[in-house]
Structure 1
């Protein structure tokens, strides 16, 4: 439990951060706005990638995610500054993974994550409401499987996130579908071919009558889009809650001293929502460290105040703040949020 003093400290910190961000010139003037520009769905240069994730290799940022229908693979955009994004090379390179090209699945290509492991690049992704992992020698793909198969045949599961701990053990955070969306974790085999069943643990199921289950869009309970960071020996599990079509789709987090949990929710959840961002449907993204170890969260929002699709891609700064007693909180800087833009519209 947090004391009233700790809560007051957090409130003061948030106020100071908001004030400093309002005067920040760390982003170009045209995007350093107070919240997101909730403008027309028809803007041709606005990036329209949902469930986004960014991989940073120390020089370039690679953006992947769920494309608008027909969703036959995974698009990629590249940037050297997180501001201007472009499709690399030829038309073929605009997708790093394609349906039917040594890959699993023929529909529902959602929520990828790209990571490095043992000198190769891997993409963990959803297809046919299951999870698959493919590999490549380049972050630009093509990502393929030697044996075309999912992880865990016969189970409905989505939204993979692969986390490698300091001891070399690798974990799969994911969503299992059973009367709603529930987040689980399990240790992966060393070759990433499957999970170790004895390590499977439940992480998060939404709590009714809270920010996690407002029912502004009626559905079964939803917790999804997990992403994990380890900081000062504490594991931070970020997740989105509510149905993605809900205006109240939002992001919170829980902490643990172990990658397998148990998890304790942050008392200040949600940390990203429509009130703080100025846009509806904020969530399902990925925390990542950029240049100078700056922490960012890339996420999607609804297209406009009245339309869910095509969802737009946004970015916001965050940081760890110590509030005493060994507690580090993740604080998001809402005034640093902006929509991603393309140098050229994709055709």
Structure 2
């Protein structure tokens, strides 16, 4: 069975990449015209620049010759946002709204998942499309929907099809960022966040967990690095060369991506690297959370990019048939030269971004590592023409 993997690593700097003849090579953008190979893919992050399709937590899946994307619609902090928006693209560059997989206007008022939908994902497993939605019911005494925020599971025969509810809530306690992984033996696993990272086996046909949900990593795990203490979320699992890898995000110093590995799908998990595999760090990022969380003492340098938040990654099949990573991008208002210090409307909202990833020496790496491609920043806005 063909598996379609979705999104990972983030681009720290505004890098431009040219893909030709199925190879990846960095190029320097210039103001002079240059010959472009016939089969090229040129992009500049963030990809979308449209307030109408602004989302967080972008999750991309390729089906046939199209790419589809779901994510967290605004409002995300308080109020209702029960819809699940589906975007589509023929080229990964130009995106438009296809439909709502869950439409708030069509849900009855007593619907148990008519509250706040977060971080939906679509996985193709056992010849069906499985939609996980993290939702909490918004009420007057619970405006953030935290008391009932849990995981709901839907299935459909088409990625654009109307799904039927399989089960929900899957668990009674607070849950978020649910993801699915099918192993080679057909066993499926559910991972999620919510005060740490959790895991369990799941039977998709019944929509029920077959093992108790187990917490395996806390943000303040003894002996683990301080860059996790603000919070950890967004697990995404993939298997490569007999090893299970789990990507996760942390917002302690600005969004960063960590990578875990294990010899089994249920751990034990260990860090692949003592530092994140991708970092977008800003001292001015959510200072109220740092102070309230007791980690405002951390010392670090800002990354030299125009972003304050590039988080919640997942893997997908990119334009070259290889693994790429998607995430949401927030622009940073105190951007270094040569970025404009005047925000456009779309820059104040979360937008889609992505980067290629590659596997080397037994681990996944990002093509855009800290400190690289800085010469490309000056040409960020002119590197790719938009129709």
Identify whether the pair has TM-score above 0.5, normalized to the shorter chain: yes
User: Is residue 253–residue 269 contact of structure 1 (8 Å, CA) maintained in 2?
Assistant: no
Counterpart residue number, 1:53: 59
Say which one has the larger Rg: 2
Matched, 1:174 2:192: yes
Structure-2 residue corresponding to 1:186: 200
From 236, 239, 246, the equivalent of 1:230 is 239
Residue of structure 2 aligned with 1:280, choices 289, 308, 316: 308
Structure 1 counterpart of 2:293: none
Task: State how far apart, in whole Å, the 1-side matches of 2:249 and 2:358 are.
Answer: 19
Aligned to 2:322: 294
Equivalent residue of 1:65, what SS? strand
CA pair 273-260 structure 1, distance change in 2 beyond 3 A: same
Determine the C-alpha separation between the residues in 1 that align with 2:61 and 2:211.
28
4+ residue runs over 4 A deviation: 23-26, 306-309, 334-339
Instruction: Identify which of 267, 271, 284 aligns with 1:265.
Output: 271
Establish whether residue 162 from structure 1 lines up as the match of residue 180 from structure 2.
yes
Q: What is the alpha-carbon distance in structure 2 between the residues aligned to residue 237 and residue 108 of structure 1?
A: 26
* 2-structure distance, mates of 1:106, 1:151: 16
Q: CA RMSD in A?
A: 3.4
Find the partner of 2:133 among 112, 125, 138. 125
- Give the match for residue 209 of structure 2: 195
In 1, Cα distance between equivalents of 2:333 and 2:234: 22
Matches within 5 A, 1:106-121: 106-121=114-129
Change beyond 3 A, Cα 1:284–1:192: farther
TM-score by length of 1: 0.73
Secondary structure at 1:53 match in 2: strand
Q: Is 1:210 paired with 2:226?
A: yes
Equivalence for 2:113: 105
Q: Which runs of 5 or more structure 1 residues have no equivalent in the other structure?
A: 1-16, 214-220
The answer as to 2:154 corresponding to 1:134 is yes
Q: Do the aligned residues in 2 keep the contact of 1:104 with 1:132 (CA within 8 Å)?
A: no
**Is the contact made by 1:97 and 1:141 (CA closer than 8 Å) also made in structure 2?**
no
Higher RCO (C-alpha 8 Å, min separation 6): 2
Q: How many residues align?
A: 292
The answer for unaligned runs of 5 or more in structure 2 is: 1-16, 18-23, 30-35, 137-148, 281-302, 335-342
